[in-house]
C-alpha cells in the first residue's frame, strides 16, 4: 500500500513540476509566437493577392512594407456598408482591399473560416476587381493530416484556385466547389470554372473547406456586388484618412 | 599535462563511452539499423532545412530526457517508470516545439505535427528505458546525444539526396545549373514524394548493412 501511495505522490509531484515548466515556456514565449503568427498572416495575405513570389524569402521588414503599401484592412456590416474601426464588433465582416498606387482598389481578400476534418481551417481567398474571379488562395492555419488533407496548403492545390469564378455567366452566386478527383474528368465542361481539383484521400477535408468557403463568401456577397457593379470607389472613400 | 587531456587514440577507442557512441552512430544506428523513427524520417526529409531542425530537436530531446531520467532513476517507482519517462519526454518535446514556434516559425509550420510526434518516437523512450534507467547521468546524456545524432545523420543524408535530386536545390537555393536543365536534365519528382523517401532510406539501410558485413 505504501508503495502505491508513493507512486501516486511521485506522479503528482512530477505532474506539477512538468506543468509549471510548460506554463513558463508557453507564456514566456508567447509574445514571440504572436509576432510570428501576425507576420505569417500578412505574408499569406500578400501571397493570396499575388504580391509576393513563393520562392523568395522576404524579411519581416519587407513584408511589413509591402503590407502597408498594398493592403487596406476594412470592415463592413452585413449590408456591405463600411464601418469605422471601432463600431459593430459583433456582426462586422473584416476583409482586405488590395490597392496599387493612389489607393485604387484592384481587388479584395476575404478571410475564410472553414470547418476542417480535425480542426478549423483558416485561409485567404483573393478576388480580382470584377468581384468574381479568384486571384489566389492561401491556407495559414489547419490541423489536417499531412499528405492527405494537409495538401490544402501545398502549391499545387493553391494554384488550382486561380482563375475560378464564384458567379455563373448569368450572375448567380455559386461559390467554388472542390471536385471529387480531377475537375476535367469529374465535372461537366460548363461547370469547370466553379470547381477545383480535389485531393485524393481527403474527400471530407475538401467538402468541409468548400462548405466553409461557400458560407463565408455568401456573407461577403454585398462586397463582391460592389466590385461587380464597379462601385468599388465607395469602399475606397473609407480609405482616405489613413 | 598533455597526458591528462589527450589520451592516445587507441585508449580512446577502447573506452566504453566511445564504443557506445560508435554503436549509436553507426553499428546500431537507430534509423538504418534498428529501423526506428521511420515515420518522421519519411515525412521531414523533403528539404535539408526541416531535416536538420528535426534532427537537432530530437537530439536535444533524447539527450536531456536521458539526462533527467538518469538523474531521477534511483527515485522513480518501478511500477510507473514508463509513465514518468513519457512525462519527462513529453514536457521536453512541447518546450522544444514552443521554442520552434517562437524563433523558427516557418520551419515549425513545415514540421507541423512531427515535432509533437517525437514524444512517441521509439528512439527516445527506447534510450531512456534501456539506457538512462541503468546508467549514470553524464554517460546517459552522451548516449542520448549519440543516438540523436545517429538519427539526424540518416535524416540529413536522405534529405540531402531528396532535395538535390528531387528539386535541384539545397537549403532552398538552386544548385543544379540552368545549363543542365536546358540540356534535358529533369528533377526526379518521385523523390519529393513519400515513396522516394522509402527508397532512399532503403538504400541507406542496404548500404550500412553491406558495409558492416564486410568487416
Q: Is residue B87 part of a domain?
A: yes
A14 touches chain B (CB under 8 A): yes
ipTM higher than the 0.85 cut: no
Beta-carbon contacts of A98 under 8 Å, excluding residues fewer than 6 positions away, are: A49, A51, A70, A71, A72, A105, A106, A107, A108, A109, A126
Position B7 scores a pLDDT of 65
Q: Taking residues B172-181, what's their average pLDDT?
A: 85
Position B1 scores a pLDDT of 42
Q: Nearest-CA distance from B106 to chain A in Å?
A: 8
User: pLDDT tens, position by position, for chain A (242 residues)?
Assistant: 578 899 999 999 999 999 999 999 999 999 999 999 999 999 999 999 888 876 667 788 888 888 988 898 888 888 878 877 666 566 788 889 888 877 778 889 999 999 999 899 999 999 998 889 999 999 999 988 877 888 898 888 999 999 999 999 888 899 999 998 898 888 888 889 999 999 988 899 999 999 999 999 999 998 898 888 887 777 765 555 44
Contacts of B84 in chain A (CB under 8 A): 10-11, 14
Q: Is residue B154 part of a domain?
A: yes
Using DSSP's 3-state secondary structure scheme, residue A201 falls into coil
Return d(Cα B60, Cα A57) in angstroms, integer: 28
Q: Is residue B5 part of a domain?
A: no
Q: Nearest-CA distance from A44 to chain B in Å?
A: 12
- Let me know: does A118 contact A145? Beta carbons within 8 Å: yes
Q: Is residue B12 part of a domain?
A: no
Q: State the cell numbers at A196.
A: 477545383
Confidence at B6, pLDDT banded by 50, 70, 90? low
Task: Return the bridge partners of A240, or none.
Answer: none
- Domains identified in chain B, total number: 1
**Under an 8 A CB cutoff, do A22 and B87 touch?**
no
Residue B96: its H or E element = helix B81-103
Position A152 scores a pLDDT of 92
Confidence at B82, pLDDT banded by 50, 70, 90? very high
- Other C-beta atoms lying within 10 Å of the C-beta of residue B47: 22
Return d(Cα A183, Cα B88) in angstroms, integer: 49
Position A56 scores a pLDDT of 66
- b/e string for A83-98 if b means 16 or more Cβ within 10 A? beeeeeeeeebebbbb
- Let me know: does B78 contact A7? Beta carbons within 8 Å: no
Which residue of chain A comes nearest to B101, CA vs CA?
A33
Position A33 scores a pLDDT of 93
**Under an 8 A CB cutoff, do A33 and B99 touch?**
no
Q: Nearest-CA distance from A61 to chain B in Å?
A: 16
Q: Is residue B143 part of a domain?
A: yes
**Under an 8 A CB cutoff, do A21 and B102 touch?**
no
Q: How far is CA B79 from CA B73, B91, B102, in A?
A: 13, 20, 37
Q: Taking residues B83-91, what's their average pLDDT?
A: 94
Kindly report, residue by residue over B96-122, the tens digit of the pLDDT: 999 999 999 888 888 878 888 899 888
Range of the domain at B75: 35-214
Confidence at B3, pLDDT banded by 50, 70, 90? very low
Q: Which of B87, B101, B113 sits opposite A14 (nearest CB)?
A: B87
Q: How far is CA A236 from CA A111, A128, A206, A240, B49, in A?
A: 19, 15, 34, 7, 43
- Let me know: does B62 contact B175? Beta carbons within 8 Å: no
Q: Number of A to B CB contacts under 8 A, please give it.
A: 59
Q: Is residue B115 part of a domain?
A: yes
pLDDT at residue B159 tops 80: yes
Q: Is residue B40 part of a domain?
A: yes
Kindly report, residue by residue over B64-76, the tens digit of the pLDDT: 999 999 999 999 9
Q: Is residue B21 part of a domain?
A: no
Position A90 scores a pLDDT of 67
Using DSSP's 3-state secondary structure scheme, residue A211 falls into helix
Position A54 scores a pLDDT of 66
What rounded mean pLDDT belongs to chain B? 87
Amino acid at each position: 500500500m505504501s508503495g502505491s501511495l508513493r507512486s501516486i505522490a511521485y506522479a503528482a509531484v512530477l505532474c506539477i513540476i512538468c506543468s509549471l515548466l510548460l506554463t513558463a515556456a508557453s507564456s514566456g514565449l508567447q509574445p514571440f509566437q504572436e509576432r510570428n503568427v501576425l507576420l505569417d498572416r500578412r505574408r499569406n495575405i500578400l501571397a493570396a493577392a499575388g504580391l509576393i513570389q513563393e520562392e523568395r524569402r522576404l524579411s519581416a521588414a519587407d513584408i511589413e512594407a509591402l503590407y502597408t503599401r498594398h493592403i487596406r484592412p476594412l470592415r463592413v456590416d452585413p449590408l456591405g456598408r463600411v464601418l469605422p474601426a471601432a463600431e459593430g464588433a459583433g456582426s462586422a465582416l473584416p476583409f482586405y482591399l488590395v490597392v496599387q498606387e493612389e489607393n485604387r482598389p484592384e481587388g479584395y481578400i476575404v478571410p475564410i473560416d472553414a470547418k476542417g476534418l480535425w480542426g478549423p481551417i483558416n485561409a485567404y481567398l483573393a478576388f480580382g476587381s470584377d468581384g468574381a474571379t479568384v486571384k489566389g488562395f492561401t491556407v495559414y492555419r489547419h490541423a489536417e493530416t499531412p499528405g492527405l488533407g494537409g495538401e490544402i496548403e501545398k502549391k499545387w492545390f493553391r494554384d488550382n484556385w486561380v482563375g475560378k469564378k464564384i458567379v455563373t455567366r448569368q450572375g448567380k452566386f455559386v461559390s467554388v466547389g472542390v471536385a471529387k478527383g480531377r475537375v476535367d474528368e469529374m465535372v461537366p465542361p460548363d461547370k469547370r470554372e466553379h470547381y477545383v481539383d480535389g485531393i485524393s484521400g481527403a474527400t471530407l477535408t475538401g467538402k468541409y473547406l468548400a462548405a466553409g468557403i461557400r458560407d463565408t463568401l455568401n456573407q461577403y456577397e454585398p462586397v463582391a456586388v460592389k466590385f461587380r457593379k464597379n462601385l468599388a470607389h465607395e469602399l475606397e472613400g473609407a480609405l482616405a484618412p489613413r | 599535462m598533455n597526458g591528462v587531456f589527450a589520451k592516445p587514440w587507441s585508449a580512446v577507442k577502447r573506452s566504453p563511452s566511445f564504443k557506445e557512441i560508435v554503436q549509436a552512430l553507426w553499428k546500431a544506428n537507430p534509423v538504418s539499423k534498428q529501423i526506428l523513427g521511420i515515420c518522421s524520417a519519411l515525412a521531414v526529409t523533403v528539404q535539408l532545412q526541416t531535416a536538420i531542425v528535426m534532427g537537432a530537436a530530437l537530439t536535444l530531446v533524447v539527450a536531456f530526457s536521458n539526462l533527467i531520467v538518469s538523474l531521477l532513476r534511483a527515485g522513480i517507482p518501478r511500477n510507473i517508470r514508463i509513465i514518468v519517462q513519457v512525462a519527462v519526454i513529453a514536457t521536453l518535446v512541447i518546450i522544444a516545439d514552443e521554442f520552434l514556434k517562437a524563433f523558427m516559425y516557418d520551419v515549425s509550420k513545415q514540421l507541423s505535427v512531427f515535432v509533437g510526434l517525437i514524444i512517441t518516437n521509439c528512439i527516445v523512450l527506447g534510450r531512456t528505458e534501456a539506457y538512462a534507467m541503468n546508467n549514470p547521468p553524464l554517460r546517459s546524456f552522451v548516449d542520448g546525444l549519440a543516438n540523436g545524432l545517429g538519427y539526424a545523420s540518416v535524416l540529413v543524408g536522405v534529405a540531402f539526396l531528396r532535395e538535390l535530386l528531387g528539386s535541384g536545390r539545397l537549403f532552398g537555393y538552386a544548385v543544379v545549373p540552368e545549363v543542365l536543365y536546358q540540356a534535358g536534365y529533369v528533377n526526379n519528382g518521385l523523390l519529393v514524394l513519400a515513396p522516394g523517401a522509402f527508397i532512399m532510406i532503403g538504400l541507406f539501410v542496404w548500404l550500412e548493412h553491406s558495409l558492416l558485413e564486410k568487416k
